[in-house]
Amino acid sequence: MIESKIVSELLKRSAFTDRIYRGLPMDVYFPGISMTEKTLGILAKRENLVIKPKRYQVHDSFLMFYQPIDVVLRSLKNVANPTLWQRIVSSAVKSEEFTKISKVTVGSQDLAALAGARFIHYLVKEVGNYLRYQARNNPQNKALHQLVSMPVERVLNMSDQRLRRKLGASGASQQDVQQAMQVLQEILVPATVAAIEATLQDASTYAELKQSGMDAVQMIAGSGGFGFSHDALSIWTFLRDPDEFRRRVRLLRSTIDMFRKFMSVLPTSLQHQQTVSVWGGISGVDRMLRESQLKDVLPSELASLAVEDEKLREILKLDFLLRLAQKQVMVYQRSATLKPVIFIDKSGSMAEPMPGTGIPKISMACGLALAIWMKYRGDVYFFDTELEKASRSRVVQLLLTIRADGGTRIEEALKEVIRRGRKDEVYVIISDGIDIVDDEIIEELKRLGLVKNVRFILVPPSQEAPWLKNFRYWYARDVAQFINAVRAVL
């Protein structure tokens, strides 16, 4: 538990009374204050700034955005000789923009930490830049140069009276001190307003992006996807590289859009004629291939076994058994459902958008994978130079980590087809790169009768390869062609 002495020291310089805690111990708020401090460090590092705020300034910055606005306003101190910091906070929380941002950040530890850090960061930067600019334009003013030599955080720690004494002690004239103080007063209000506006923009952008990303994670993997996305969609990830953060969310959202599209265009189950295309046969009737088909023997085949003449029945029975052994007995073809197995190239280039669209190639493929899981309970694999069986949580992880690097080995997917070796499965390989495939692998697929079960969907920049002539394949140059290719292969 945080000692009361520490809390007392914080409140001594704070812009707030202890009412800001709403009767709760300081321990409740300490994680948020620490998060604010860490977030500020990332912001400062990103711009090569050195910002070392006082602990009470971090404390105030977090709590002013975390607590409800009515609590914040009631908790403001009313002192005769306030510090610059106390005046700034009082001015900030009474502004119209603060009312807007409070609606976004209240009760959210990460958003309040982001807002608090951004507020200090922008305030210190704006005040510091303005003071340095004025000092360059007034090279003879000792007080201004003394002011510039002090960290802004330390300047804000002082009251007007104390700061005047500090500047006067540097040997500056009263006129110079007055001018320096006037320059400082000129920047405090606009800098405070600008800091609140920048904070509102950052917090609102992050809140919107994170919510969008988390909604997509929920749809893709349920609660199972939240573990990995917690760090990938954190404040710190957003601050380190906002553009990369937006790209990650775009990958997630595009995947959901494509999932919905495939759910609407794919049939509820794979059709009868697709089974026939794998097994052969005509008009719903075929020769029996497996003992499990005995229940589907045509009535005309069984009718001969029901003749009244016992000797004739025995002869016909022997004939039936002979034809059964030779697989000449005719059976109905059932409308069995083929099981689709999807292999998705996860090399870095798949994160790039399909030409002429903003939809990443990997999002199209993963959207299809989700639909395959939902509609057909099919299996999904990812491959680059290695192969792995995918889960829905793994889809989330891939979309949040894929980078523009890594190679492609289609042989890994084909080896898995050989290992599975099932003729009642259709194998769909999606890739934007064409690899060399060993002739031995193709010959083994032919020997097993699996070549006609393997289909390729190739997206840019993949090119023609000689070994492709052994398989059925489709080129998809845009989203519409990709959807048509999926319809064709399934």
- What's residue 21's pLDDT? 96
Whether the CB-CB separation of 239 and 209 falls below 8 Å is answered with no
Domain ranges of the chain: 4-212, 253-270+338-489, 285-332
How far, in whole angstroms, is CA 464 from its chain's centroid? 33
- What's residue 336's pLDDT? 53
- What's residue 290's pLDDT? 67
Cα(339)–Cα(428) distance, rounded to whole angstroms? 11
3-state secondary structure (DSSP) of residue 336: coil
- Cα-Cα-Cα-Cα torsion 446, 371, 267, 433, nearest 10 degrees, comes to -40
Q: Which long-range contacts (CB under 8 A, 24 or more apart) does 293-299 make?
A: 293/331, 294/331, 296/331, 296/332, 296/333, 296/334, 297/329, 297/330, 297/331, 298/330, 298/331, 298/332
Cα(470)–Cα(438) distance, rounded to whole angstroms? 12
Whether the CB-CB separation of 375 and 268 falls below 8 Å is answered with yes
3-state secondary structure (DSSP) of residue 77: coil
How far, in whole angstroms, is CA 280 from its chain's centroid? 44
pLDDT tens over the chain, length 490 residues:
567 888 888 999 999 999 999 999 989 999 999 999 999 999 999 889 999 999 999 999 999 999 999 999 999 999 999 999 999 999 999 999 999 999 999 999 999 999 999 999 999 999 999 999 999 999 999 999 999 999 999 999 999 999 999 999 878 899 999 999 999 999 999 999 999 999 999 999 999 999 999 999 999 988 777 777 778 888 888 988 999 999 999 999 999 999 999 999 988 766 534 444 444 444 467 677 666 677 777 777 777 667 677 777 777 777 777 777 777 777 766 555 678 999 999 998 999 999 888 899 999 999 999 999 988 889 999 998 899 999 999 999 999 988 766 678 899 999 999 999 998 899 999 999 888 899 999 999 999 999 999 999 999 998 888 999 999 999 999 999 999 999 998 8
- What's residue 272's pLDDT? 39
Strands of the 379-383 sheet, one edge to the other: 387-389, 379-383, 339-345, 425-431, 454-458, 472-475
Cα(456)–Cα(474) distance, rounded to whole angstroms? 6
Q: Scan for tokens 């890594």, then name that residue.
A: 406
Whether the CB-CB separation of 255 and 243 falls below 8 Å is answered with no
Q: Is 114 left (phi over 0), alpha (psi -120 to 50) or beta?
A: alpha
Cα(392)–Cα(438) distance, rounded to whole angstroms? 32
Could you tell me the end-to-end alpha-carbon distance of the chain, in angstroms, rounded to an integer?
Answer: 62
The CATH code for residues 253-270+338-489 is: 3.40.50.410
Cα(433)–Cα(281) distance, rounded to whole angstroms? 36
Cα(384)–Cα(71) distance, rounded to whole angstroms? 55
- What's residue 342's pLDDT? 97
- What's residue 86's pLDDT? 96
- What's residue 44's pLDDT? 93
> Which residue type is seen at 270?
L
Q: What is the DSSP letter of 83?
A: B
